[in-house]
Chain A
Amino acid sequence: MDFVNAIILLLNYIFIPALTYGSQLALGAIFVTLIYGILRFANFATGDMMSFGTMATILFTWYFQSLGVSLGVLPTALLAIPFGVIFMILYMLLIDKFVFKYYRHQKSPPVQFAMVSIGVMFVTQAVVRIIIGPADRRFFDGEKFIIKAREFKEMTGLNEGLALKSTQVITIFVTIVLVSLLFWFLNRTKTGKSMKAYSDNEDLALLSGIDPKKIVLVTWVIAGILATIGGALYGLDKSFKPFTYFNNMLPIFAAAIVGGIGNPFGAFLGGYVIAFSEILLTYAYKKFFMYVLPANMEPEGLVQLLSTDYKFAVSFSILVIVLLYRPSGIFKGKVL
């Protein structure tokens, strides 16, 4: 029996990856939930908007790299993200002006908005693929590991190594900072409060003199920040491929709904719920039990609840269950 090794094993293969993946999902989910709460539609272009922001970031990263600018041990992309964000916001405002504004003024039903956002999805996908191509791209530079598995083993003398990638630390750190800033903004500032009021009851908010144009603008700005940073962090940690980003839309939706759509805090936690359940249910626990159980009780199989192929299916099943039993999500969002 060896509990220390077992815990390190879980940390290395479950806890840290899930936390990273969850942070990336959480940013996307807050993006979805904000658009849903304030602009009142399910944005099917989520994944592709994230890939657009990431693309802008990558282009700026390349530009900085060609200039020879770098942040030393940190990836250059961190420097490029603010520029990517500006680009993303401009693109979103452009789309809002030419596409969504019309339907907002018509007071179209949410379904029509969703259909329109599919059109936006097609266009954005085309733009991204035409500019940067559909290939898999890595744009990470700088120091890759903070702690390498081997160093950790030598340091502590344990059997199990603990590898900590710098992208994982950056992701978690940036997410915490960004999300705390966002909640501070939503709960403490006047604009943030008026956004909440607008989301709760549009007519009342308009009566009390809230400017809807400003609300929409601020929403797109926040959405742009979240989409770009979420996308860029995912790209840094894994790699950038337009098709994967499109697919990531689905777990992001799941996270937003599980957390209670329209509720940013719920979406934040929903990201982690989805990430942890995906990884916990598809991890093979054989090694863990080898450490925990006495030698003669070692399990024979992989002790895996579901094969890793079903990773996505897990999060969708959770969503279906939540929809069945608590349609408003775990943390009470809007009632559907």
Chain B
Amino acid sequence: MVGIFQSWNIALSIFNLCLISAVMTMGANIQWGYAGLINFGIMGYTALGGLAAVLISVDPVQEAWRAGGFDILMALWLIVVMVLVIRFILKRFEKSKIRTYSIAAIIISGILLIRFSAEPGIEAIEAVDPAKTGFLGGFGLPIVFSWIVGALFAGGLAFIVGKVALGLRADYLAIATLLISEIVIAIIKHEDWLTRGVKNVIGLKRPAPYEVDLQTTDWFINLVEKFNSGKLSVIENLADRQAALNQLVIEGSSVFVKLCYSGLFLVVVIILLILTQKALYSPWGRMMRAIRDNEEAANAMGKNVVKQHLLIFILGSAIVGIAGAMLVTQDGLFTPGSYRPMRYTFLIWVMVIVGGSGNNFGAILGGFVVWFLWIEAAPISLFLINFFTAGIPETNALKAHLIESVPYFRFLLMGLGLLFIMRYRPKGILPEKIEIK
């Protein structure tokens, strides 16, 4: 539809983001729909996925490694040693006040030690050509690998968060995960040696060809010519025809690149959909629903509730991590400043609730519908405002003010949509349905 009204280019970029949103929603849906765990930390996992994309695909900055790599590795060592010591103490000594205080002392002194030992290294790294690099860089591998690594990163974080926070009651879990994700963002934003921080990383490698290369490739030009042969044959003049063809090639190249992305993302969505559907109807899925609906009964039946909760928390977050890496792949840049809870946590939750929790197709539908409305809310409301105020002259202050604030109608639309769905269709557009075979 947008393809017809606006342009294919915009339509495809919305479609790609819909696919990514669908993946995120599936991750959140696994946690909320399957197990009833509320996770408001989606933003943090998305950002970690993005970080993975940077660390995998960027070429290593040799100079920075020489300047401060040793210090950073030492700091990493210290962290590992610290964790091991704490584990050792936890295992060897009985729970007591002294143990708690000594662990606190170890953590505080460890942080101080790490700060002072790593400081010169960090400064040296950040001083290496700060306009271009100023960070360690990555491994220089193809960016598609980062989708897996992003999942691992996010899963790792989820393991820690889950260990800490999963025992809390639902609304506290929500607040705790939200705040932890803010901590993650703060770290990513301000540890310049790792992520370049708010200076952003641009020009990431692509899994798809570049537009500029396509425009000079013969087979692509031929393809475009073939596609538009009808349109082109109308033009008589040879020079005009060549110009028109060039224009079409330029347009076609960006559409083609977006199509490549769409294909890749579609593969991910389909694989995830098959896996999640299988899981939903497996004995494991039944067990998760049993735990969700009655924790005590499931516990009494000998199911390890804590372990399963942790597992599903990790799985869901890992899927969100994949989506985060996909997002950075499609944008080609990593901007830590752009991770905001509104866009990456609450909007995803609207998708989950609207689409239908516990239903994977519902999650995908929610991702598509909500993202489409989120993008198209501004044009739609502009149209509506113009329609209803058609009789009022352009100079009217109220009308001008309304038109100026068109971008904010998307919040209104989302909020009202969420409220109405919660009230009149609390299970979402596609409610969960369990077939008993």
* Chain B positions within 8 Å of A324 at CB level: 164
B408 at the interface (CB under 8 A from A): yes
With A122-B412, A126-B412 as given contacts, are A316 and B179 in contact (CB-CB < 8 Å)? yes
Per-position binary interface string of chain A over residues 306-336, scored 1 when its CB falls under 8 Å from any chain B CB and 0 otherwise: 0101101100110110011101000000001
Q: How far is the CB of A76 from chain B (nearest CB, A)?
A: 23
Closest to A128 in B: B408
Closest to B108 in A: A305
Closest to B174 in A: A114
Q: How far is the CB of B349 from chain A (nearest CB, A)?
A: 7
Q: How far is the CB of B194 from chain A (nearest CB, A)?
A: 14
B26 at the interface (CB under 8 A from A): no
B170 at the interface (CB under 8 A from A): yes
Q: How far is the CB of A277 from chain B (nearest CB, A)?
A: 14
Report whether B175 and A42 are in contact in the complex, using a CB–CB cutoff of 8 Å.
yes
* Chain A positions within 8 Å of B411 at CB level: 122-123, 125-126, 129
Q: How far is the CB of A334 from chain B (nearest CB, A)?
A: 10
Number of interface residues of B (CB under 8 A): 44
A67 at the interface (CB under 8 A from B): no
* Chain B positions within 8 Å of A6 at CB level: none
A273 at the interface (CB under 8 A from B): no
Which chain A residues in 96-141 approach chain B with CB under 8 Å? 99, 102, 109-116, 118-127, 129-130, 133-134
**Most B-side CB within 10 Å, residue of A41, A110, A111, A254:** A111
User: A122 to B351, alpha carbons, bound, how many Å?
Assistant: 14
Report whether A115 and B412 are in contact in the complex, using a CB–CB cutoff of 8 Å.
no
A15 at the interface (CB under 8 A from B): no
With A309-B186, A316-B183 as given contacts, are A130 and B176 in contact (CB-CB < 8 Å)? no
Report whether B414 and A312 are in contact in the complex, using a CB–CB cutoff of 8 Å.
no
Closest to B197 in A: A309
A234 at the interface (CB under 8 A from B): no
Closest to B187 in A: A313
User: A257 to B171, alpha carbons, bound, how many Å?
Assistant: 12
Per-position binary interface string of chain B over residues 264-302, scored 1 when its CB falls under 8 Å from any chain A CB and 0 otherwise: 000000000000000000000000000000000000000
* Chain B positions within 8 Å of A121 at CB level: 346, 415
Number of interface residues of A (CB under 8 A): 46
Per-position binary interface string of chain B over residues 409-434, scored 1 when its CB falls under 8 Å from any chain A CB and 0 otherwise: 11111111011001100100000000
Q: How far is the CB of B28 from chain A (nearest CB, A)?
A: 12
User: A122 to B421, alpha carbons, bound, how many Å?
Assistant: 14
Closest to B352 in A: A115
**Most B-side CB within 10 Å, residue of A301, A316, A325:** A316
Report whether A309 and B189 are in contact in the complex, using a CB–CB cutoff of 8 Å.
yes
User: A246 to B342, alpha carbons, bound, how many Å?
Assistant: 9
**Most A-side CB within 10 Å, residue of B176, B179, B182, B402:** B179
* Chain A positions within 8 Å of B172 at CB level: 42, 257, 323, 327, 336
User: In the complex, which of the residues B38, B179, B186 contacts A310, with contact meaning CB atoms closer than 8 Å?
Assistant: B186
* Chain A positions within 8 Å of B178 at CB level: 250
B169 at the interface (CB under 8 A from A): yes
User: In the complex, which of the residues B164, B180, B422 contacts A112, with contact meaning CB atoms closer than 8 Å?
Assistant: B422
Report whether B183 and A317 are in contact in the complex, using a CB–CB cutoff of 8 Å.
yes
Report whether A310 and B170 are in contact in the complex, using a CB–CB cutoff of 8 Å.
no
User: A133 to B405, alpha carbons, bound, how many Å?
Assistant: 7
User: A189 to B84, alpha carbons, bound, how many Å?
Assistant: 56
Report whether B342 and A42 are in contact in the complex, using a CB–CB cutoff of 8 Å.
no
With A129-B405, A246-B342, A316-B183 as given contacts, are A253 and B175 in contact (CB-CB < 8 Å)? yes
User: A22 to B400, alpha carbons, bound, how many Å?
Assistant: 40
Report whether A119 and B422 are in contact in the complex, using a CB–CB cutoff of 8 Å.
yes
* Chain B positions within 8 Å of A310 at CB level: 186, 190
Report whether A126 and B422 are in contact in the complex, using a CB–CB cutoff of 8 Å.
no
User: A317 to B190, alpha carbons, bound, how many Å?
Assistant: 16
Report whether B422 and A123 are in contact in the complex, using a CB–CB cutoff of 8 Å.
no
User: A106 to B317, alpha carbons, bound, how many Å?
Assistant: 32
B56 at the interface (CB under 8 A from A): no
User: A297 to B190, alpha carbons, bound, how many Å?
Assistant: 30
B125 at the interface (CB under 8 A from A): no
Report whether B175 and A336 are in contact in the complex, using a CB–CB cutoff of 8 Å.
no
User: In the complex, which of the residues A102, A122, A124, A246 contacts B418, with contact meaning CB atoms closer than 8 Å?
Assistant: A122
User: In the complex, which of the residues A42, A111, A119, A327 contacts B415, with contact meaning CB atoms closer than 8 Å?
Assistant: A119
User: A325 to B101, alpha carbons, bound, how many Å?
Assistant: 12
Per-position binary interface string of chain B over residues 388-415, scored 1 when its CB falls under 8 Å from any chain A CB and 0 otherwise: 0000000000000010110011111111
Report whether A336 and B187 are in contact in the complex, using a CB–CB cutoff of 8 Å.
no
Which chain A residues in 257-314 approach chain B with CB under 8 Å? 257, 301, 307, 309-310, 312-313
User: A42 to B408, alpha carbons, bound, how many Å?
Assistant: 25
Q: How far is the CB of B279 from chain A (nearest CB, A)?
A: 23
Closest to A301 in B: B119
User: In the complex, which of the residues A102, A118, A127 contacts B349, with contact meaning CB atoms closer than 8 Å?
Assistant: A118
* Chain A positions within 8 Å of B412 at CB level: 122-123, 126-127, 130
Report whether A129 and B187 are in contact in the complex, using a CB–CB cutoff of 8 Å.
no
User: A250 to B414, alpha carbons, bound, how many Å?
Assistant: 21
B168 at the interface (CB under 8 A from A): yes
* Chain A positions within 8 Å of B201 at CB level: none
Closest to B165 in A: A323
Report whether B423 and A111 are in contact in the complex, using a CB–CB cutoff of 8 Å.
no
With A121-B346, A246-B342, A319-B176 as given contacts, are A110 and B171 in contact (CB-CB < 8 Å)? yes
User: In the complex, which of the residues A42, A118, A301 contacts B346, with contact meaning CB atoms closer than 8 Å?
Assistant: A118
* Chain A positions within 8 Å of B402 at CB level: 130
Report whether B176 and A99 are in contact in the complex, using a CB–CB cutoff of 8 Å.
no
Q: How far is the CB of B69 from chain A (nearest CB, A)?
A: 22
B353 at the interface (CB under 8 A from A): yes
Report whether A99 and B164 are in contact in the complex, using a CB–CB cutoff of 8 Å.
no
User: A324 to B416, alpha carbons, bound, how many Å?
Assistant: 36
User: A232 to B183, alpha carbons, bound, how many Å?
Assistant: 27
User: In the complex, which of the residues B169, B189, B190, B346 contacts A336, with contact meaning CB atoms closer than 8 Å?
Assistant: B169
* Chain B positions within 8 Å of A254 at CB level: 179
Which chain B residues in 180-196 approach chain A with CB under 8 Å? 180, 182-183, 186-187, 189-190
Report whether A320 and B180 are in contact in the complex, using a CB–CB cutoff of 8 Å.
yes
Closest to B419 in A: A119
User: In the complex, which of the residues B171, B186, B422 contacts A312, with contact meaning CB atoms closer than 8 Å?
Assistant: B186
User: A134 to B423, alpha carbons, bound, how many Å?
Assistant: 29
Closest to B414 in A: A122
Report whether B409 and A130 are in contact in the complex, using a CB–CB cutoff of 8 Å.
yes
Known: A125-B411, A126-B409. 5 other contacts (CB 8 A): A114-B38, A250-B182, A309-B189, A312-B186, A313-B187
Which 6 residue pairs across A and B have the least CB separation, nearest first?
A122-B415, A123-B415, A126-B412, A126-B411, A129-B408, A119-B418
Q: Could you name 19 residue pairs across A and B whose Cβ atoms are closer than 8 Å?
A: A110-B171, A112-B422, A114-B171, A115-B349, A116-B419, A119-B418, A120-B415, A121-B346, A124-B415, A126-B408, A126-B412, A130-B409, A134-B408, A312-B186, A320-B165, A320-B176, A323-B165, A323-B168, A336-B168
